[in-house]
Amino acid sequence: MRRAIAALLLCSATFAAEPVFIVSVKGSLVDYLKYYPRLKVSDAVAHHATIFYSTLYVAQNFPNRATAVINATDEVYAMLKDSAKKFCVKSDAYALDHLEFDVIFDDAGLTVFGSANLVCLTVVK
């Protein structure tokens, strides 16, 4: 598995013009990187994304609240990944760690707040 990931990264670094998304973890990425000594953190930054759906929007577009929460969480996750890809454009790969979502559903609507560290990774050759 480790060799496959390393080969994928080397191939990506050689032929592709953009970094490869590796993983998103709730905890620290450092715990996983010890198994991959050729991957080094080149840069990292804390980032967040927020989305809001009004109560009317939820009622008109989703069969129930749970579906709205899942959809909003997926959109926030996609925003975080997109931000990481743009931030790590000069790296071989990128990942999200300390990924966390907060969901607030009140009379005004649904708010989903996502936060993560955007981590850029480089293959040591």
Kindly state the average pLDDT of the residues 61-90.
96
Global pTM value: 0.84
Q: How confident is the model at residue 80 (pLDDT cuts 50, 70, 90)?
A: very high
Q: Do 33 and 120 contact (CB within 8 A), yes or no?
A: no
Q: Which residues, at least 6 apart from 102, have a Cβ–Cβ distance to it below 8 Å?
A: 112, 113, 114
Instruction: Check residue 83 and report its DSSP letter.
Output: H
Domains, in order of start, for the chain? 2-123 (3.30.110.70)
What pLDDT is recorded for position 9? 53
Q: Which candidate, 21, 22, 16, places its Cα nearest to that of 35?
A: 22
